[in-house]
Amino acid sequence: MADCLFCKIAAGEIPSSKIYEDESVYAFSDINPQAPFHAIVIPKEHIASADDINAQNSHLIAKVFEAIAKIAVQENLEDGYRVVTNCGKDAGQTVGHIHFHVLARRYLQWPPG
Ligand code: 5GP
Ligand code: ZN
């Protein structure tokens, strides 16, 4: 998608700190980390939000979770981590390309604020 920040990051047009990449998925460090480890994991193909997951593209979401399991091993997240996707205004979604926050290396309150 022409004007999408995360499409540009996945394409390498905007620099980012890469954590993981495969043919379908790109993961990078969040610019404003909310935990000592804070990755953003995205499908390379543009999907706007969780509202837009469907039978045609859900395999890409499965790829994201396969990548997260690999990242957890790669980054030694054996004490646990949280995966979050914000969808829409009330959840605070600020970038319109679906992304999964992976937060770790501190105790994470439940329920979140
Ligand atoms: P949201 O609020 O949409 O769930 O999450 C968007 C996330 O993207 C935020 O945590 C924000 O810090 C991060 N972010 C926004 N712009 C950039 C950027 O240009 N580079 C990186 N690495 N992270 C970004
Ligand atoms: Zn995009």
Other beta carbons within 10 angstroms of residue 45's beta carbon come to 15
Ligand 2 mean position, distance from CA 103 (Å): 22
Ligand 1: which of 32, 41, 82 to mutate, most ligand atoms within 8 Å of CB? 32
Torsion region of 42: left, alpha or beta (phi above 0 gives left; psi -120 to 50 gives alpha): beta
- What lies within 8 Å, CB to CB, of 37 at 6+ separation is 75, 77, 81, 102, 103, 104, 105
Q: pLDDT at position 1, please?
A: 80
Express each pLDDT in 79-102 by its tens digit. Answer: 999 999 999 999 999 999 999 999
Give the HSE-up count for residue 51: Cα atoms under 13 Å, Cβ half-sphere: 10
Helix (H/G/I), strand (E/B), else coil: 85: coil
Is the CB of 57 within 6 Å of ligand 1? no
pLDDT of amino acid 2? 84
- Contact in structure between 27 and 21 (CB atoms under 8 Å): yes
* pLDDT value at residue 113: 78
**Tens of pLDDT, residues 34-87:** 999 999 999 999 999 999 999 999 999 999 999 999 999 999 999 999 999 999
Pocket test for ligand 1, best of 26, 30, 101 (most atoms within 8 A of CB): 30
Is 16 near ligand 1, meaning CB less than 6 Å away? yes
| Preceding amide of 43 cis, omega within 30 | no
The two three-digit tokens of residue 15, written as one number: 């620099």
Instruction: Identify residues whose C-beta is under 5 A from ligand 2, the ion.
Output: 1, 4, 6-7, 46, 97
CA of 55 from ligand 1 middle (Å) equals: 27
What is the pLDDT confidence band of residue 10, given thresholds at 50, 70 and 90?
A: very high
For the stretch 96-113, pLDDT in tens is: 999 999 999 999 999 987
